[in-house]
Amino acid sequence: MKNTIRQVFHSPKFVVGFCIFMAILLTMLVYPFINPGDPLKMIGLGTFAEPGTYVSMYDSVGAPFSTFKIPDADVKRLDKLLTQEDRAKMREWLELAQVDVSELDVGDMDSLLAMWKQHYDPEIRIPGMIKAVRNYYIRLNNSILSASVSDTLKVTDTDEATGETIEKTKISKTDYVNVDDVANVISLPLGTDNFGRDTLKQLVAACGVSISIGLIAGAVATALGLLLGLLAGYLGGWVDDFIMFFTNIFTVIPSFVLLILINYSINQDQRGAGTVALVIGLTSWVWTTRSVRSQVISLRNRDHVNLSRLSGHSLPRIILTDILPYIASYVMMAFILQVSSGILAEAQLSLLGLGPKTTEVPTLGLMMNWAMLYSAHLNGSWWAYFPVILVIALISFSLNLMNTGLDQVFNPTLRE
């Protein structure tokens, strides 16, 4: 036994898979302590905030500041203001206004701005230009002007009693706030999703729920498959016929179709994560039953079982000590595969909108479902679905790697 475990941990494939899986588990356990709170809390009011660190503007106004004179600060400010696209559009306008742009380089901010300020006039009407485009240029011009107008911004407030405008503070271009001095800073490494929820926190929670769904489904399927397979294989006769009759029926109906039908017939409010896990488990025991049965049939006529019978051992004892240990490694591998396919089945079901109800816990499948419903894939919000896909892939990759590793240890013909 100890030897087998040592051998298992000498298989590189198993070790790699095990490490990936443990890393995922560890993250799942540790992350909620670093970032506690309800993963389904909507913190953002908009949808799909980009990944990054968010600093409260309100709090930064009053925060203590230091003054820095950084040479290219202005250029950077404009750089952020004008995207590459904006600059190309500016050049386009100049061209249409019959300005000679042959020597203009869009990368050179100063000359572009100089030329823009010199020639742009919102009154000039360019033939063929539609109103929306004209308005776009007006807006662009306004923001360029406001960025370059004054060196200081005044922050004012209105006294509610008198209606007087009070000047709160002045912010100069050279004022810098230390992020540590701002009361409210939130870090969203994966941004927010369509409901304005922290995607990373949700992903970690979903990962835990999905793995538990996989474990429950795998445990149910393996236990059921093992029990039926052992009974059918060892007892034979009418018990075997009876069990195989049901197994064959379930084999003919694709289990995913069955899964869809069952889940469809359960009301959405009653479909908790546990229920879904149970249903997945109850529809995927067939292959375990079949293969356990065939292994037991080949084992039951072995001499060591005969010897055990001749020693007067009872049926449960023979099954537990003479049959189970011989198929334990196989059952272990079947379990790992069932866990992996349970996780995938949940993801598929949720994508179809037949997963667990959406109000309690996130799951990997639900996250995908939400991202798809709010067309994250169309508006470029990759953070809402790509990390989820990556995690699903990593989990099933690590589980399958562990399985292959085990297979190589237990099945000597596969060893290199």
The residue from 110, 325, 380, 411 that contacts another protein (CB under 8 A) is 325
Distance, in Å, from the CA atom of 270 to the CA atom of 258, rounded to the nearest integer, reads: 18
Q: Min. distance of Cβ 309 from another protein in angstroms?
A: 7
Distances (CA, A) of 50 to 19, 131, 286: 31, 30, 45
The residue from 89, 134, 313, 357 that contacts another protein (CB under 8 A) is 313
Longest Cα–Cα distance of the chain, Å, equals: 106
β-pairing, 65-67 vs 175-177, is antiparallel
Cβ within 8 Å of residue 302, ≥6 positions away? none
The residue from 134, 173, 309, 377 that contacts another protein (CB under 8 A) is 309
Q: Nearer Cβ to another protein, position 184 or 298?
A: 298
Note whether 303 binds another protein by CB under 8 A.
yes
Q: Nearer Cβ to another protein, position 249 or 320?
A: 320
Fill in the DSSP letter of residue 180: G
Q: Min. distance of Cβ 42 from another protein in angstroms?
A: 55
Q: Min. distance of Cβ 311 from another protein in angstroms?
A: 5
Note whether 307 binds another protein by CB under 8 A.
yes
Note whether 320 binds another protein by CB under 8 A.
no
* Ordered alpha helix ranges (H), 186-323: 199-235, 237-252, 255-265, 273-283, 286-300, 303-310, 315-317
Residue-wise DSSP of 250-279: HHHS-HHHHHHHHHHHS-GGG--HHHHHHH
- Site stretch for another protein (CB under 8 A), options 88-96, 216-224, 322-330, 341-349: 322-330
Q: Min. distance of Cβ 319 from another protein in angstroms?
A: 12
Note whether 3 binds another protein by CB under 8 A.
no
Note whether 302 binds another protein by CB under 8 A.
yes
Give the interface size with another protein as a residue count (CB under 8 A).
17
Q: What is the CA radius of gyration of the chain?
A: 32
Q: Nearer Cβ to another protein, position 2 or 69?
A: 2
Note whether 322 binds another protein by CB under 8 A.
yes
Between 237-252 and 199-235, two packed helices, what is the crossing angle to 10 degrees? Answer: 140
Q: Min. distance of Cβ 305 from another protein in angstroms?
A: 8
Distance, in Å, from the CA atom of 162 to the CA atom of 47, rounded to the nearest integer, reads: 38
Q: Min. distance of Cβ 194 from another protein in angstroms?
A: 55
Distance, in Å, from the CA atom of 21 to the CA atom of 184, rounded to the nearest integer, reads: 35
Which residues here bind another protein, judged by CB under 8 A?
A: 302-304, 306-315, 321-322, 325-326
